[in-house]
Amino acid sequence: MKKLLWLAAIVLMGGGAVQAARPNVLMIAIDDLNDWVGCMYGHPQAQTPAMDRLAARGTLFLNAHVQSPLCNPSRASLMTGLRPSTTGIYGLTPGIRNVETTRHRVTLPQHFARHGYFTATFGKVYHDGSIPRPFQTNEFHVWGPAPGMPLPPQKFVNTPAAMRVMDWGVFPPDDREQADWKIADAAIEQLKNAPKDRPFFVAVGFRLPHVPCFASPPWFNRFPPEDQIILPPWLARDRADVPEFSWYLHWQLPEPRLSWLQRSGQWRPLVRAYLASTTFMDSQIERVLQTLKDIGAEANTLIVLWSDNGWHLGEKGITGKNTLWERSTRVPLIFAGPGVARGGRCTQPVELLDIYPTLIELCSLPPVDGLEGHSLTPQLRDAQAPRPWPAITTHNQGNHAVRSLRWRYIRYANGAEELYDLQNDPNEWRNLAGDPRYHDVRQEHARWLPQVDLPAAPGSTGRVLTQTNGVWYWEGKPIDPAEKEE
Ligand SMILES: [Ca+2]
Ligand SMILES: [Ca+2]
């Protein structure tokens, strides 16, 4: 009996002697997937059986938001547990090891590695190239391949930007040429050969449905022909009631405007390609999840699935991300496995920042100082458990969205505001910021705006908005409002 009590004590203490009892972690990252996921009802024609099954055996967060609507800052925030406004990482560069605020920060995988886990990464988990080689060994024991998307000899769609990746269509003919197939392959191989003496933390980052939205014929054939593709809800002149400053957050980006898609007859083809490439990517998630079963690790592996930002497909007049609206900030977030209720559906606002503290609590790792998220373990036990915090998204210094259960409040760096009642206006068509009846709602949300709000870190490039002497600069060039592209 004494011996049993002693064993129970070290289990409770989470000591090194019982590491084998800790669950494995499989983290699945997706690039630019909004809520067009079957179980999230974001698009009636979405087909994502693997994600739907995962959500059914775990807990799905229906009101989860990114901390930045862009790859590098979103992923940097998740992995360090710090807001973009705390680190100054807003652009496609710099990476966390090139910034003073995060250079020595213990990241999520690092914390697992330091506490006995075997860690490995495949595909796009950190933003490509954001962790210089000398630092890589600090993050993961194994850095698997992160192939880029294959490109056809010629672009299918002559989008206004000559960029090769700004494309969509039926390609390649063989799924095995797809980056996501190769990423799944490498992750599967690693899972099959995971060390037996310690738990693993394996991160797998898929590339689709990030542009180029390519998929082979069978994936397109699962969807109705173009003329039967349902377009997202859209309102003409929707941006007549939003501040002009909202344009500055995605100034002259390569993603085509809705007006171009409409003129070119490319709106439905793009929607279909986004749906088809998402369904293909979902099939690669299925391959990885099936491997967990095959190796007998399903019961003892905690799975977390997230996307780094959403994507507009015409809403508010644009395609792409880089906005503070629901379409850019709301993403799938699913947990499943030991300690997670089955079939949970949480509608409380939550942040990707919450993943770090949640995983370390679920795996009984020691806490980490300074994490700005809050553990989701109460909601993973009971999805209805209340939560006091809203979700905050930041896109460059001074531009923030505060999303509560019912409202979205946006404050731009020049003081301009938006307010949406998501309960009665789920598409954010009516900006209520100027309505005096909602003065208190605005005040209540404004108090959550980050107190620390750093300028862009030195070396920032790629989607960076700055101000000098009253002039706003995008990518270092002064913004001329006369050049606005509707
Ligand atoms: Ca992304
Ligand atoms: Ca509007």
- We report the CATH number of the domain holding residue 318 as 3.40.720.10
**Does residue 379 fall inside a structural domain?**
no
The predicted-structure confidence for 222-232, as pLDDT tens digits, reads as follows: 999 999 999 99
User: Please, are residues 86 and 67 in contact by the beta-carbon 8 Å criterion?
Assistant: no
**Does residue 171 fall inside a structural domain?**
yes
Q: Which domain holds residue 159?
A: 21-373
Tell me, yes or no, if the pTM score tops 0.85. yes
The predicted-structure confidence for 257-316, as pLDDT tens digits, reads as follows: 999 999 999 999 999 999 999 999 999 999 999 999 999 999 999 999 999 999 999 999
**Does residue 60 fall inside a structural domain?**
yes
**Does residue 484 fall inside a structural domain?**
no
Question: Which ligand neighbours the alpha carbon of 432 most closely?
Answer: 2
Distance 171 CA to ligand 1 centre (A): 21
Distance 298 CA to ligand 2 centre (A): 46
Q: What percent of the chain has pLDDT over 90?
A: 93
Distance 255 CA to ligand 2 centre (A): 21
Distance 157 CA to ligand 1 centre (A): 21
**Does residue 211 fall inside a structural domain?**
yes
Q: How many domains does the chain have?
A: 1
Distance 64 CA to ligand 1 centre (A): 15
Q: How far apart are CA 249 and CA 356, in angstroms?
A: 28
Which amino acid would we find at residue 415?
A: G
Is 39 considered catalytic here?
no
**Does residue 391 fall inside a structural domain?**
no
SS3 29: strand
Q: How far apart are CA 22 and CA 199, in angstroms?
A: 7
Q: Is the pLDDT of residue 13 over 80?
A: no
User: Please, are residues 378 and 354 in contact by the beta-carbon 8 Å criterion?
Assistant: no
**Does residue 9 fall inside a structural domain?**
no
Question: Which ligand neighbours the alpha carbon of 208 most closely?
Answer: 1
**Does residue 46 fall inside a structural domain?**
yes
Question: Which ligand neighbours the alpha carbon of 434 most closely?
Answer: 2
Is 111 considered catalytic here?
no
Centre a 10 Å sphere on the Cβ of residue 212 and count the other Cβ atoms it contains: 24
Residues with Cβ–ion distance below 5 A, ligand 1? 31-32, 71, 308-309
Distance 275 CA to ligand 1 centre (A): 16
